[in-house]
Structure 1
Amino acid sequence: MQNRRLFWDIVDKIELLIDSGNYPPGSRLPPERLLAEQFDVSRPTIREAIIALEVRQRVEVKTSSGVYVIEKPDEANKQLFVTAFELTQARALVEGEAAALAAGSITKEELEQLHTNLVKMEAGIDADQADKEFHSIISRATRNNAILFAVQNFWSLRESKENIKEAYRMVCQSNVNKRKDEHRDIYNALKAGDAQKARIAMHEHFNRLINALFDATEAKALEEVKRKNNETRDLYSLSHLVS
């Protein structure tokens, strides 16, 4: 118990040094031997403290390099769980208005860039990247950096959260032709400078996407029910008694 308390004391002391700026993110902690001397404890105690700090995501141990301080995790963001449905709804709300705003400010060069990415999507040439760039061009065309920042973060969520990546994988390859038509409708509305049509076209795109997500989720749930029923059927089957 004494040893346990001791290494937690060391954890608290090192965290205090990190938080006070003595060891900023990216810096390397002193070697184990020096830390043991500094805190007047054994090297195994320091080793246990480093393990605890690593679990707390305060440091990263790099083999043959040392122990490095990392950015303190944002607990609110760390615990925040975003579903594919929430992301799609948020995208519809923000990007619908972004399309309407861009209709009045998009340049000829940006329309040409949109068309280039539209052609790539229609030809199936790196379609996912072309899709991302298509939406990014529209957000930049709003001339509003807050909107651009929001759309970039939406894509970051889509590409980094496993639950969202899996959900989008289930639907992005379905209704490919519809996906192409929706993006062409958005492009045509922007080219015409029609804010209301651009907003509606963007909303229709995301409405189809969110309904596809529901369909895919239902299909997956039904498949899971069937799998469990088959397992139960095999477990309790009396076929071997009546055959």
Structure 2
Amino acid sequence: MAAENLARPSLSDAVTDRVLALIREQGLRPGQRLPSARALAERFSVATPTIREALRRLQATGAVELRHGSGVYVSDTLNRVLLPNPNLSVLPGERLLHLLDARLLIEPYLAERAAQVCDAEQATTLAALLDGAAGNLTGDDSRLHEANMGFHAAVGAVAGNTVLNEVLESLLAVHGHEQREILALFDDRARDHHEHREIMTAIVERRADDAAGKMRAHLADVRSVIARRLAAER
């Protein structure tokens, strides 16, 4: 009997599912507002605290966003397959190298695919991101980091494989701290930016093999910086 009770969904579980069903049935899009907690409680015939617990669960999984004093909104991560872990501490060096190895496996393919499908609007987006990076080559490390990582994520988005793009975005988020260290250690921002420009040009000009090769060479450079740093610290 105890095992059956453990397996039985709780009221909060059921309400969580019903809120998700409501979002989909009404076709709510990211950024659109849900009814208030009180209105949802009345709709589902449950107490307001039960609704609030369900909404907190949905916020934790990236389905909704709770904005203090404003309401509950559909999150743009509602349909993600993967979510980065915001509680992960700084990664040990060897694991960081494994993450970069994973990027080496994923990103050259995404660059190749992006070169096969990139349209004029997407090309403009990639160029704008690199223009933003160019404006911070001698300035704010934080803004340069965001522009550089935004470029890599945008290449994944252009490629059109939503699952692989989510994997890439999660990897970038997980080791954002270490990526900022790389920016400081690489010590050649112009070269880094030049490599990004070459990748973008290959994508825009539909040179798929070249795009993959240039992305692979660029990430190998990044990995070598980390490997040298780890070796120096041993």
Task: Name the TM tier (shorter chain).
Answer: 0.5 to 0.7
Aligned residue pairs, count: 161
Question: In the TM superposition, what is the alpha-carbon distance from 1:182 to its structure 2 partner?
Answer: 1.2
Decide whether aligned partners of structure 1 residues 220 and 144 sit closer, same or farther in structure 2, where only a CA change above 3 A counts.
same
Report Cα offsets for 1:187-221 as digits up to 9, x if no partner: 11112110011001100111000000011112223
Report Cα offsets for 1:65-123 as digits up to 9, x if no partner: 9xx7987xxxxx999x8811111111111110000011010111111111111111122
3-state DSSP class of the match of 1:104? Answer: helix
Report Cα offsets for 1:30-75 as digits up to 9, x if no partner: xxxxxxxxxxxxxxxxxxxxxxxxxxxxxxxxxxx9xx7987xxxx
Structure 1: 5+ residue runs without aligned partners? 1-12, 28-64, 72-76, 160-164, 222-243
Tell me the amino acid that sits aligned with residue 140 of structure 1: A
Is the contact between residue 118 and residue 183 of structure 1 (CA under 8 Å) also seen in structure 2?
A: yes
Partner of 1:143: 160
Is the contact between residue 190 and residue 198 of structure 1 (CA under 8 Å) also seen in structure 2?
A: yes
Structure 2: 5+ residue runs without aligned partners? 16-48, 58-84
Structure 1 or 2: more helix by fraction: 1
Match of 2:211 among 191, 198, 207: 198
3-state DSSP class of the match of 1:103? Answer: helix
In the TM superposition, structure 1's runs of 4+ consecutive aligned residues that sit over 6 Å from their partners are 68-71
3-state DSSP class of the match of 1:193? Answer: coil
| Aligned equivalents of 2:169, 2:193: Cα separation in 1 | 22
Greater gyration radius = 1
Tell me the amino acid that sits aligned with residue 162 of structure 2: N
Partner of 1:178: 191
TM-score, normalised with respect to structure 2: 0.58
Decide whether aligned partners of structure 1 residues 130 and 169 sit closer, same or farther in structure 2, where only a CA change above 3 A counts.
closer
Partner of 2:114: 102
| Aligned equivalents of 1:220, 1:168: Cα separation in 2 | 18
| Aligned equivalents of 2:227, 2:14: Cα separation in 1 | 43
Is the contact between residue 168 and residue 213 of structure 1 (CA under 8 Å) also seen in structure 2?
A: no
Among the aligned pairs, what percent are the same residue? 17
Is the contact between residue 120 and residue 130 of structure 1 (CA under 8 Å) also seen in structure 2?
A: yes
Decide whether aligned partners of structure 1 residues 112 and 219 sit closer, same or farther in structure 2, where only a CA change above 3 A counts.
same
Question: In the TM superposition, what is the alpha-carbon distance from 1:156 to its structure 2 partner?
Answer: 2.8
| Aligned equivalents of 1:149, 1:180: Cα separation in 2 | 24
Match of 2:10 among 22, 25, 36: 22
